[in-house]
Amino acid sequence: MIRWLLGFIGAAFSVVLLWSLFSGLSTHFSDPPEPTAEEEFHKHPKPLHLASDGPLGHFDRQQLQRGFQVYKEVCAACHGLSHVAFYDLEGLGYSEAEVKAIASQWQIEVPSINPETGEAATRPALASDRFPSPYPNEVAARAANNNALPPDLSLITKAREGGAAYIHSLLTGYQNQPAELVHKFPAAKTPEGLYFNPYFANLNIAMPPPLTSEGQVQYADGTPPTVDQMATDVAAFLVWAAEPKLENRHAAGIAVVVFLLFATILGHLAYRNVWAEAKRKVRVTGAIEPENKAKRRRANRKAGVSD
Amino acid sequence: MSFSWAKAYEPKNPFMRWLDERLPLPRLVYGAVGGGYPVPRNLNYWWNFGVLAGLFLTIQIVTGIVLAMWYYATGDGAFNSVEHIMRDVNAGWLLRYTHANGASFFFIVTYIHIFRGLYYGSYKAPRELVWILGLVIYLLMMATAFMGYVLPWGQMSYWGAQVITGFFGAIPLIGEPLRVWLLGGYAPDQAALTRFFSLHYLLPFVIAAVVVLHIWALHIPGSSNPTGVDVKDEKDTLPFHPFYTAKDGWFAGGVLLVFALVVFFAPNALGHPDNYIPANPLATPAHIVPEWYFWPFYAILRAFTTDFILPAKLWGVLAMFASILLLFFLPWIDKSPVRSGNYRPLFRTFFWILVADVLILGWAGGQPATALPVAIGQITSAYYFAHFLIILPLISKFETPLPLPRSITDSVLHGEKQESAPAGVEPGTTTIAGEGSSRK
CA-wise closest residue to B424 among A293, A283, A306, A289:
A306
Cβ atoms B335, B401 nearer than 8 A: no
Report pLDDT for B220: 93
Task: Please give the Cα distance from B225 to B233 (Å, whole number).
Answer: 14
Beta-carbon contacts below 8 Å between A and B: 179
CA angle B39, B45, B46 (to 5 degrees): 90
The one catalytic residue in B99, B200, B232, B247 is B247
More confident residue, A299 or A119: A119
Tell me what percent of the residues of chain A surpass a pLDDT of 90: 79
Calculate the CA A157 to chain-centre distance: 5
Mean predicted confidence (pLDDT) in B356-376: 95
B34: CB partners within 8 A, 6+ apart: B9, B239, B240, B241
Which residues 34-73 of A are in CB contact (within 8 Å) with B? 55
At B237, give phi and psi (nearest 5°): -125, 165
Residue of B nearest to A54 (CA): B265
The one catalytic residue in B230, B236, B248, B419 is B248
The answer on pLDDT for A107 being more than 60 is yes
Q: What is the pLDDT of residues A10-34, one digit of tens each?
A: 999 999 999 999 999 999 889 888 8
Report pLDDT for B439: 36
For residue B5, how many other CB atoms are within 10 A of its CB?
14
Contact between chains at B264 and A252 (C-beta distance less than 8 A): yes
Report pLDDT for B372: 92
Residues in chain B closer than 8 A to A10 (CB atoms): 326, 385-386, 388-390
Tell me what percent of the residues of chain A surpass a pLDDT of 70: 91
Q: Indicate the range of A57-61, A299-303, B417-421 predicted with least confidence.
A: B417-421
The answer on pLDDT for B419 being more than 50 is no
Contact between chains at B253 and A271 (C-beta distance less than 8 A): no
A154 touches chain B (CB under 8 A): yes
Report pLDDT for B207: 98
Task: Please give the Cα distance from B33 to B178 (Å, whole number).
Answer: 43
Residues in chain A closer than 8 A to B276 (CB atoms): 155, 158-159, 242
Report pLDDT for B277: 96
A270 touches chain B (CB under 8 A): yes
Q: Does the annotation mark B12 as catalytic?
A: no
Q: Does the annotation mark B219 as catalytic?
A: yes
Residue of A nearest to B254 (CA): A264
Task: Work out whether strand A120-123 and strand B38-40 pair parallel, antiparallel, or are unpaired.
Answer: unpaired
Q: What is the pLDDT of residues A137-182, one digit of tens each?
A: 999 999 999 899 999 999 999 999 999 999 999 999 999 999 999 9
**B417 pLDDT band (50/70/90 cuts)?**
very low
Contact between chains at B246 and A7 (C-beta distance less than 8 A): no
* Cβ burial B280-306 (10 Å sphere, 16+ → b, else e): eeeeebeebbbbbbbbbbbbbbbbbbb
At position A172, the amino acid (one-letter code) is T
Residues in chain A closer than 8 A to B260 (CB atoms): 253, 256-257, 260
Task: Please give the Cα distance from B391 to A6 (Å, whole number).
Answer: 12
Q: Does the annotation mark B357 as catalytic?
A: no
Its pTM stands at: 0.91
Cβ atoms A13, B382 nearer than 8 A: yes
Task: Please give the Cα distance from B358 to B9 (Å, whole number).
Answer: 44
Instruction: List Cα–Cα distances, B69 to A245, A286, B89, B203, B206, in angstroms.
Output: 20, 61, 11, 17, 20
- What does R_g of chain A's alpha carbons equal in angstroms? 31
At B174, give phi and psi (nearest 5°): -85, -5
Question: Cα dihedral angle (B166, B168, B172, B177), rounded to 10 degrees?
Answer: -90
Q: What is the pLDDT of residues B58-94, one digit of tens each?
A: 999 999 999 999 999 999 899 999 999 999 999 999 9
Report pLDDT for A292: 55
The answer on pLDDT for B423 being more than 70 is no
For residue A204, how many other CB atoms are within 10 A of its CB?
18
Residues in chain B closer than 8 A to A148 (CB atoms): none
Task: Please give the Cα distance from B246 to A271 (Å, whole number).
Answer: 5
Residue of B nearest to A201 (CA): B286
Q: Nearest C-alpha of chain A: how many angstroms from B385?
A: 5
A268 touches chain B (CB under 8 A): yes
Q: Nearest C-alpha of chain B: how many angstroms from A117?
A: 29
Contact between chains at A264 and B257 (C-beta distance less than 8 A): yes
B23: CB partners within 8 A, 6+ apart: none
The answer on pLDDT for A283 being more than 60 is no
Cβ atoms A297, A307 nearer than 8 A: yes
Contact between chains at B93 and A249 (C-beta distance less than 8 A): yes
The answer on pLDDT for B430 being more than 50 is no
Interface predicted TM-score of the whole assembly (ipTM), two decimals = 0.88
Q: What is the pLDDT of residues B91-142, one digit of tens each?
A: 999 999 999 999 999 999 999 999 999 999 999 999 999 999 999 999 999 9
Task: Please give the Cα distance from B389 to A8 (Å, whole number).
Answer: 8
Report pLDDT for B427: 41
Q: What is the pLDDT of residues B190-236, one digit of tens each?
A: 999 999 999 999 999 999 999 999 999 999 999 999 999 999 988 88
Report pLDDT for A35: 87
Contact between chains at B247 and A303 (C-beta distance less than 8 A): no
Mean predicted confidence (pLDDT) in A112-134: 93
The answer on pLDDT for B420 being more than 90 is no
Report pLDDT for B436: 38
How deeply is B20 buried, as exposed, middle or buried, from its count of CB atoms within 10 A (0-12, 13-18, 19+)? middle
Q: What is the pLDDT of residues B284-310, one digit of tens each?
A: 998 999 999 999 999 999 999 988 899
Interface test with B, best of A1, A3, A246 (most B CBs within 10 A): A3
CA-wise closest residue to B296 among B197, B364, B389, B349:
B364
- How many residues does this entry show for chain A? 307
Q: What is the pLDDT of residues A62-87, one digit of tens each?
A: 999 999 999 999 999 999 999 999 99
Task: Please give the Cα distance from B304 to B314 (Å, whole number).
Answer: 9
**A112 pLDDT band (50/70/90 cuts)?**
very high
Residues in chain B closer than 8 A to A262 (CB atoms): none
Report pLDDT for B115: 98
The three-class DSSP label of residue A238 is helix
Q: Nearest C-alpha of chain A: how many angstroms from B107?
A: 22
- What does R_g of chain B's alpha carbons equal in angstroms? 24
Q: Name which of B273, B312, B322 is nearest A13 (Cβ-Cβ).
A: B322
Q: Does the annotation mark B10 as catalytic?
A: no
Residue of A nearest to B276 (CA): A159
A131: CB partners within 8 A, 6+ apart: A76, A80, A81, A82, A84, A85, A86, A106, A125
The answer on pLDDT for A2 being more than 90 is no
Contact between chains at B242 and A304 (C-beta distance less than 8 A): no
At A14, give phi and psi (nearest 5°): -65, -40
Q: What is the pLDDT of residues B133-187, one digit of tens each?
A: 999 999 999 999 999 999 999 999 999 999 999 888 888 889 999 999 999 999 9
Task: Please give the Cα distance from B259 to B246 (Å, whole number).
Answer: 20
Report pLDDT for A87: 96
DSSP codes of every residue in B158-194: HHHHHHHHHHHHTSTTTHHHHHHHHHTSSSS-HHHHH
Q: Does the annotation mark B241 as catalytic?
A: no
Interface test with B, best of A271, A279, A302, A306 (most B CBs within 10 A): A271
